[in-house]
Structures are given as C-alpha cells and as structure tokens.
Amino acid sequence: MKRRPLFIILTFLLSLHILTASPKVDRVEKGNLILENIPEIPQRIIDRMRQYQSVRSASLQDWHPSGQGILISTRFGETNQIHW
C-alpha cells in the first residue's frame, strides 16, 4: 500500500518536469517565411558559394556557313553573344 502513493507522486513530478522542460524554439520571421530552429548560414559558406553564382555556359548553335568552324553562343551579363 505504501508503494501506490509514492508511484503517484513520482508520476506527477515526472509529468510536471516534462511539461516545464519544453525546448526553446528559435524562431525567425521574414515576411511570410517562418524559420524555426534553423541555424544562420556562416559568412564563410556564403562567400564560398558566391563563386558558383556567376558561372557562364556556352552552347553549340550551328556550323559556320563556310564550313570552317562552329558558332557558339555565350551570355555575358544580360547580353547573348555569338562566337566563331
């Protein structure tokens, strides 16, 4: 009989501890975007990734009419260019 009150008290204390020990939520709101528990990106990673944002591509467009080469298009800034 003495175990039952002890069990009830321990259960109550454990449930009280669980309810009060909820983790702190790190919340950032940016307009409609809500971020919870997402860490900030370190500046060194941002700087490292910046080098991949201004890559340029080239694509084969056609053979040159003289048959002596090919035409390749590239994009520099906002301008498309054709190279022979």
Q: Are 37 and 26 in contact (CB under 8 A)?
A: yes
Q: Are 82 and 73 in contact (CB under 8 A)?
A: yes
pLDDT bucket at 26, cuts 50 / 70 / 90:
confident
Dihedral over alpha carbons 36, 38, 43, 48 (to 10 degrees) = -130
Structural domain spans, the chain: 23-83
Q: pLDDT by residue (tens digit) across 55-84?
A: 778 899 999 888 889 999 998 878 889 888
- Does residue 23 carry a pLDDT above 80? no
For residue 67, what pLDDT is reported?
85
For residue 21, what pLDDT is reported?
63
Q: Cα separation of 9 and 40, whole Å?
A: 43
Which tokens hold the place of 63?
């053979």
